[in-house]
């Protein structure tokens, strides 16, 4: 296995250096960053493929150990193992948590139809934007700090989970526990448009509406049947009316299943519902409203499953202050930085939800998450890693 990062302390005699020197080091190592991105992308890691996720985790563990990180593997029976790496510092400061995930939404074998490639300054491949390049930026940000400053400016914790794309059920407790030990959480998920950082994310809920009716022959005994599909149609209209776009609350019925044959009155039907909320207080309100749905046809039964999976990441004063600090670091590096609110959730929702200052979108600049054209801008990798390094040092 090729060594991606070659430590060359002898060529960096400075005991400390400013952001300009960190950016210069990273720029000089851009090709190594690209090579590392390739190594991570070609190691496919579908969420539900434990073996593949564990293989990538093992590869990354070696890379972090080369940076003198202390690796801890959180073993899982079904999901992939979660990778935690702790970095010591002589500075008596609270640690910062660098948070991300190593799983992707793509099935194994996608690399054949969506191969790794470099083209016109962009890097392509499954998961390159969400969020394998973000992992590489973490590795090189830490490498740059160690190379240029000889020591990290504070303790750092890294957590890469294997089930973020599936809801983070097995990793949430680990994420929240490490966040509580940290001064702040920097989430290395993909950036927003133009490299914007994400200072707000919607909370996410998932529900299933299950209707049970009475089957009958649609021609011979139509009157004896109680259509679960017809009842579900009423429920779909009712739950959809709960959308309040101005409030930032959306309800989407994304999957509908039911019935067996066209000549049979359906005995069963189910709808899968996605809920997004912009405000934490709306979570309990929306759960109560959805669970308050009642059958229109009293001869049908309605069962409601699910709930809020992720609280929203709201733009609190702590989040806003963290963004302003990031903007200052970016200015010192010679570029401007914008912020954006997005509808999708991340594990940063969990850390923000427990009150820990959280800044998201520190990953690569690119586009096409979960899509065939997923890509990142290659020459932005050093600058984004420098931004991350600067924030690690600057956070109080």
What's the length of the chain? 396
* 62 Cβ contact partners less than 8 Å away, ≥ 6 residues apart: 1
pLDDT above 50 (res 322): yes
| Distances from the Cα of 253 to the Cα of 32, 256, 312, angstroms | 45, 8, 20
Q: Which pLDDT value is given to residue 18? A: 83
The answer to whether residues 394 and 359 touch, using CB atoms and an 8 Å cutoff, is no
Q: What is the mean pLDDT of the chain?
A: 94
Dihedral sign for Cα 234, 235, 238, 241, please: negative
Name the pLDDT band for 150 (thresholds 50, 70, 90).
confident
Q: Which pLDDT value is given to residue 101? A: 98
Name the pLDDT band for 279 (thresholds 50, 70, 90).
very high
What pTM was computed for the model?
0.90
User: Could you read off the pLDDT of 362-389 as tens digits, one per residue?
Assistant: 999 999 999 999 999 999 999 999 999 9
The answer to whether residues 389 and 152 touch, using CB atoms and an 8 Å cutoff, is no
Tokens 């998201």 appear where? 360
pLDDT above 60 (res 354): yes
Q: Delineate the domains of the chain, giving CATH numbers in brackets.
A: 9-201+312-394 (3.40.630.10), 203-310 (3.30.70.360)
């Amino acid at each position: 296995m090729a060594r991606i990062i070659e430590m060359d302390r002898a060529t960096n005699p400075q005991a400390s250096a400013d952001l300009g020197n960190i950016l210069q080091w990273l720029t000089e190592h851009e090709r190594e960053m690209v090579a590392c991105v390739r190594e991570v992308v070609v190691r496919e890691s579908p969420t539900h493929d434990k073996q593949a996720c564990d293989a990538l985790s093992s590869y990354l563990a070696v890379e972090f150990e080369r940076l003198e990180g202390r690796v801890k593997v959180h073993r899982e029976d079904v999901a992939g193992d979660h990778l935690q790496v702790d970095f010591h510092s002589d500075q008596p400061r609270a640690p910062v948590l660098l948070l991300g995930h190593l799983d992707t939404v793509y099935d194994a074998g996608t690399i054949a139809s969506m191969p790794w490639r470099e083209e016109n300054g962009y890097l392509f491949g499954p998961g390159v934007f969400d969020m394998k390049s973000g992992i590489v930026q973490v590795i090189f940000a830490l490498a740059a700090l160690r190379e240029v400053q000889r020591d990290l400016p504070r303790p750092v914790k890294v957590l890469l989970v294997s089930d973020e794309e599936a809801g983070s059920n097995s990793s949430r407790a680990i994420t929240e526990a490490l966040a509580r030990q940290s001064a702040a959480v920097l989430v290395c998920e993909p950036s927003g448009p133009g490299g914007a950082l994400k200072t707000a994310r919607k909370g996410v809920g998932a529900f299933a509406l299950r209707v049970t009716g009475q089957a009958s022959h649609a021609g011979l005994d139509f009157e004896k049947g109680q259509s679960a599909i017809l009842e579900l149609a009423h429920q779909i209209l009712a739950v959809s009316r709960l959308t309040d776009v101005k409030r930032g609350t959306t309800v989407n019925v994304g999957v509908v299943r039911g019935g067996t044959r066209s000549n049979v009155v359906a005995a069963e039907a189910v709808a899968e519902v996605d809920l997004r909320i912009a405000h934490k207080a709306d979570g309990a309100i929306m759960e109560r409203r959805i669970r308050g749905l009642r059958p229109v046809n009293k001869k049908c039964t309605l069962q409601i499953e699910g709930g809020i999976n992720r609280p929203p990441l709201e733009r609190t004063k702590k989040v806003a202050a963290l963004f302003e600090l990031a903007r200052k670091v970016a200015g010192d590096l010679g570029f401007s930085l914008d912020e954006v609110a997005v509808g999708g959730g991340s594990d940063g929702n969990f850390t923000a939800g427990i009150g820990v200052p959280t800044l998201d979108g520190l990953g690569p600049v690119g586009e096409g998450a979960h899509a065939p054209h997923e890509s990142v801008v290659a020459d932005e990798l050093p600058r984004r890693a420098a931004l991350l390094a600067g924030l690690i040092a600057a956070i109080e």
